[in-house]
Structure 1
């Protein structure tokens, strides 16, 4: 699957670690085999290590190939594991009553978004999502609060889930996503008040233990699904990391309807 730049960079870093470990392991293995074949004196052992070292330096394509192979292996294994989790934990992902749902609750395509109110890419994709939900009444949208950008994000997520008690979740969500500039705790409460939420009551409701539990479960789900940043989507039965434009979203939805 196509992956955004930040995701590819992360995977490349992980692949580099694996490739480095493979290279070190290769050197160690070759040395071990050589020593096992004959008890070499230190000078000869150093000579063998030098030959291997020089070969790697003079043939960087070997490491580049190892990096690519390691990255491909990581991607394949992570995707396979995440797909398995998606299948096994479908009810937890799509039908948890603790998770807000928008669009058509009985729609024929699920879109799940893992998001953070301080994430600029989440804000960037909001107009496309709003357009889709307005035009396509067969979409069921699952709001997966996933605060990963600091303590203020956690406060905002708590406020959003607490806003459900006043029937204001989607109003708060939309207003928070539309908020520009730096978001502080004061911003969260100002936005809440602007959409008609009783802020004093909200602050009390935010302390409900079930909200904290819901956020912990969302984080665990994201990790299991190999979603490490925001936004992260599940469209139908496919996991799609990164922000998508309107055309890409429509394409994924069409694929989901085809099964």
Structure 2
């Protein structure tokens, strides 16, 4: 870099207060300055890549900080809404919340990972948020799962949840009836509750909470106040838990 360009660029990048006043330049000076910048960037294109990397890191940090603030703001709705299934250790030191959809391929991929996490860590409190966003079959499955919880309780709900997470076919009233029959459930009673206003209210509350948290995809996890969007391998979840416990 030419010395006459290095100093102005350094000052401009170091502090807004030290930035050059381009308006004070003559047209000729401004054109020369811009030409020197262009030449430098063409000769050193890696600077652009470095700037993009720094920008992305700043954006990611800002997103993480915003996610943490939102999780803290809506902590009660996330962790203690009174209707979501709570598994693992109800008195665990860390609560993991999952927003999921039974038709979501990445949710199905995450299912054995989160199951392994809860099974291997006796201090995890695991909350499931039904968040059907992938069409009518997703809604139908969530309604059946929630209705099962209302009719038969948490254990039956978890059996249905597990089965639906591993289910690969189309979801219909008939397939759900067969699923319930296989699990020994009262499918007639469950089917009768699927359109219950309580079921509709639970889904509406989950959807409203997701909107407040700016969640638009599944799976989305919340580990205490740390939000993680998308699939997370078991090893990364364990690493995040270790970091939270070390704070």
TM surpasses 0.5: yes
Aligned equivalent of 1:173 = 161
Unmatched segments (≥5 aa) in structure 2: 1-22, 24-37
Cα deviations across residues 206-228 of structure 1 (Å, max 9, x unaligned)?
A: 12212211112212222222322
Matches of 1:242 and 1:144, distance apart in 2:
15
Moved more, 230-239 or 78-87: 78-87
Shift of 1:123: 1.0
- When Rg is computed on C-alpha atoms for both structures, the one with the higher figure is 2
Report the Cα distance in structure 2 between the residues aligned to 1:73 and 1:129, rounded to whole angstroms.
29
Given candidates 138, 144, 148, the residue that maps to 1:159 is 144
Residue 86 of structure 1: aligned partner: 71
Name the residue aligned to 1:244. 232
Count of matched residue pairs:
208
Q: How does 1:1-259 map to 2 (within 5 A)?
A: 75-165=60-150, 166-167=152-153, 168-259=156-247
Task: Report the CA distance shift for 1:70/1:191 in structure 2 as closer, same or farther (over 3 A).
Answer: farther
2:137 is paired with a residue whose SS is helix
What SS is found at the alignment partner of 1:127? helix
Unaligned 5+ runs, structure 1? 1-32, 34-54
Paired with 2:87 and 2:169, the residues of 1 have a C-alpha distance of: 26
Runs of 4+ in 1 over 3 A off after TM superposition: 63-81, 181-185
1:145–1:215 contact (8 Å) kept in structure 2: yes
Q: TM-score w.r.t. structure 1 length?
A: 0.70
CA offset digits 1:142-177 (Å, max 9, x no partner) = 001110110110111111111112121101000111
Q: Structure 2-normalised TM-score?
A: 0.73
Q: Distance in 2 between matches of 1:96 and 1:156?
A: 21
Tell me how far apart the structure 2 counterparts of residues 229 and 242 of structure 1 sit (CA, whole Å): 7
- 1-structure distance, mates of 2:209, 2:142: 16
Q: 1:66 and 1:225, CA in 2 relative to 1: closer, same or farther beyond 3 A?
A: farther
State how far apart, in whole Å, the 1-side matches of 2:52 and 2:242 are. Answer: 35
For 1:67 and 1:191, how far apart are their aligned partners in 2? 50
> What root-mean-square deviation, in Å, do the aligned CA atoms of Structure 1 and Structure 2 show?
2.9
Structure 1 pair 225–183 and aligned structure 2 pair: CA distance change class (3 A): same
Aligned to 1:47: none
